[in-house]
């Protein structure tokens, strides 16, 4: 992950009176999976579509692999893969025909193996309109990656997919990344963003509210870390026991649970207490705030860096 493949500088886009994106800047590095997150109407699609060359900016600049997607769309044809929305294909086309058509457009042999891989083997000759939503989405993914694009844009790729297909898609994304593909992933699925993204940008009302690796982002919030402890003689189960940096506590089954603002001092004090009471630790779990916790915090407080 050395040089930027996508560079966005002060990108601003309005629709009439609505300012959809207020002048945002970010880079996506080669080989990165970059998550674009945000609540409905935050400006994710407006940003993705500008990178795909479908919307021209009011001001600012965007480049993909050094190419301006609006001015020189032809140059991006074989470099970029875009997951089409289902409306992008005619109702009567079959997955086989669509694959042949897309691959001919890119000048490559049809990648029927991708249809097999994404679970469409028995639907290859069915009409697009007869496919389920999940099957249509799988087809659009197969078409987006067929030409091994250098940059792949995915908009809600796993929405409506069953668990097995979702896992298959994530495996496919990791393989593409290992081969050097840069992936921009717009998603509402925080667990997916946290699991898959190297970095994310959280958009809020057309501005970047936070940007960084999921670990960096979850580390900066006010959310508390949950520390659950189970010991042999329950030496922590003393209601008036005071531990440093503990905001509140609870007891669930045999576990004493401490919500900490700073895990270092809290965990050290827990261990010291267990030792001083000649108790024995059976289990200790530390659960950091998730990206979803942090996302909710940002969107609820409306904080923009
Ligand atoms: P979602 O998660 O709901 O898909 P999003 O983050 O992709 O949302 P955008 O679709 O980029 O958000 O929309 C950003 C803002 O721009 C919204 O206020 C939306 O209403 C407005 N907008 C988007 N497209 C148009 C359009 N063609 N005409 C007018 N306003 C638009």
Per-residue model confidence (pLDDT) at position 305: 46
Which residues does ligand 1 sit against, CB inside 6 Å?
15, 18, 20, 38, 40-46
In this model, does residue 35 exceed pLDDT 90?
yes
Sign of the dihedral defined by the CA atoms of residues 214, 215, 218, 224, in that order: positive
Per-residue model confidence (pLDDT) at position 224: 84
Q: Kindly report the average pLDDT of the chain as a whole number.
A: 90
How many helices (H) and strands (E) in the chain? Answer: 10, 13
Pocket test for ligand 1, best of 11, 17, 36, 43 (most atoms within 8 A of CB): 43
| Closest C-alpha to ligand 1, atom 2 | 40
CA distance 231 to 225: 19
Average pLDDT over residues 105-126: 93
Helix, strand, coil share (%) of the chain residues, nearest 5: 35, 30, 35
**Cβ-defined contacts of 214-222 (< 8 Å, 24+):** 214/291, 217/291, 217/294, 218/288, 218/289, 218/290, 218/291, 218/293, 218/294, 219/288, 220/294, 221/289, 221/293, 221/294, 221/297, 221/298, 222/261, 222/297
Ligand 1 atom at minimal distance to the Cα of residue 206? 14
In this model, does residue 254 exceed pLDDT 80?
yes
The domains of the chain, with CATH numbers, are 4-219 (3.40.50.300), 225-288 (3.30.70)
In this model, does residue 302 exceed pLDDT 80?
no
Instruction: Give the confidence band of 294 by pLDDT, cuts at 50, 70, 90.
Output: confident
CA distance 246 to 225: 9
Average pLDDT over residues 213-241: 88
pLDDT tens per residue across span 140-166: 889 999 999 999 999 888 887 888 888
Kindly state the percentage of the chain with pLDDT values over 90.
64
Cα–ligand 1 centroid distance for 43 (angstroms): 6
Per-residue model confidence (pLDDT) at position 137: 84
Average pLDDT over residues 244-251: 91
**Residue from 50, 48, 8, 47 nearest 27 by CA:** 8
CA distance 49 to 43: 10
In this model, does residue 67 exceed pLDDT 90?
yes
Per-residue model confidence (pLDDT) at position 166: 85
Average pLDDT over residues 48-74: 92
The pTM assigned to this predicted structure is 0.83
Average pLDDT over residues 286-290: 87
Answer for the pair 51, 184: CB distance below 8 angstroms, yes or no. Answer: yes
In the numeric block, which tokens belong to residue 264? 């270092």
pLDDT tens per residue across span 68-103: 998 898 888 889 999 865 557 889 999 999 999 999
Pocket test for ligand 1, best of 19, 21, 41, 299 (most atoms within 8 A of CB): 41
């Amino acid at each position: 992950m050395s040089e930027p493949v996508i560079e966005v500088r002060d990108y601003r886009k309005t629709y009439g009176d609505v300012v959809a994106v207020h002048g945002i800047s970010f880079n996506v590095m080669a080989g990165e999976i970059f998550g674009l997150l945000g609540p409905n109407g935050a400006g994710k699609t407006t940003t993705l579509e500008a990178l795909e060359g479908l919307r021209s900016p009011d001001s600012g600049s965007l480049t993909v692999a050094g190419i301006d997607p609006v001015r020189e769309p032809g140059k991006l044809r074989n470099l970029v893969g875009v997951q089409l929305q289902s409306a992008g294909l005619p109702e009567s086309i079959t997955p086989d025909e669509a694959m042949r058509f897309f691959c001919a457009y890119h000048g490559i042999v049809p990648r029927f193996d991708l249809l097999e891989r994404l679970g469409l083997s028995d639907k290859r000759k069915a009409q697009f309109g007869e496919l389920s939503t999940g099957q249509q989405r799988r087809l659009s993914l197969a078409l987006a990656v067929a030409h091994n694009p250098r940059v792949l844009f995915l908009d809600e790729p796993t929405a409506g997919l069953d668990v097995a297909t979702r896992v298959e898609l994530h495996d496919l994304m990791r393989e593409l990344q290992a081969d050097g593909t840069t992936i921009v992933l717009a998603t509402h699925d925080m667990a997916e963003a946290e699991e898959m993204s190297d970095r994310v940008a959280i958009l809020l009302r057309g501005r970047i509210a936070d940007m960084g690796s999921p670990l960096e982002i979850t580390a900066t919030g006010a959310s508390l870390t949950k520390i659950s402890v189970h010991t042999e003689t329950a030496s922590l189960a003393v209601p008036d026991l005071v531990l440093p940096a503990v905001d509140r506590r609870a007891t669930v089954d045999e576990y004493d649970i401490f919500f900490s603002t700073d895990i270092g001092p809290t965990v050290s004090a827990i261990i010291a207490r267990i030792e001083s009471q000649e108790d024995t630790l059976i289990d200790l779990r530390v659960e950091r705030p998730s990206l979803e916790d942090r996302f909710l915090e940002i969107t609820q407080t409306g904080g923009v860096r």
